[in-house]
């Protein structure tokens, strides 16, 4: 597992990944926006490379539900 937090070129780590887990904080809108950016990068990589590994988006800090910025759908 490699953490891509604040990485300027996350694409370089996609080549050896078999699965992708993107984690964001439910109490930070910026974290969710950054997670969305990473999901776009992963999606583009998968389309171009044929890598069809699983992708999971995980909301962290559920214990801080009362401060939630990201709504459930």
pLDDT in tens, 29-72: 888 888 898 899 899 999 998 888 999 999 887 666 655 555 65
List of residues 6+ apart from 23 with CB closer than 8 A:
35, 58, 59, 60
1 compared with 23, residue with greater pLDDT: 23
Is 38 a domain residue? yes
The residue with tokens 């080549």 is 15
Structural domain contains residue 57 = yes
Is residue 6 assigned to a domain?
no
Question: Does residue 7 belong to any structural domain of this protein?
Answer: no
Distance (Å, whole) CA 6 – CA 42: 15
Do the domain assignments include residue 55?
A: yes
Per-residue confidence (pLDDT) for residue 56, from 0 to 100: 94
- pLDDT classification of 18: cutoffs 50, 70, 90: confident
31 lies in some domain: yes
Residue length of the chain: 73
**Does some domain include residue 47?**
yes
27: domain range? 21-63
Tokens 């974290």 correspond to 31
What is the number of structural domains in the chain?
1
Average pLDDT on 18-31 reads: 87
The answer as to whether 51 is a domain residue is yes
């Amino acid at each position: 597992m490699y953490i891509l937090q604040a990485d300027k070129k996350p694409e370089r780590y996609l080549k050896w990944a078999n699965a992708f887990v993107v984690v964001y904080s439910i109490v930070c809108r910026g974290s969710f926006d950054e997670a969305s950016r990473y999901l776009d990068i992963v999606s583009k990589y998968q389309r171009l490379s044929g890598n069809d590994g699983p992708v999971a988006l995980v909301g962290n800090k559920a214990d801080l539900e009362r401060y939630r910025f990201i709504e459930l759908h």
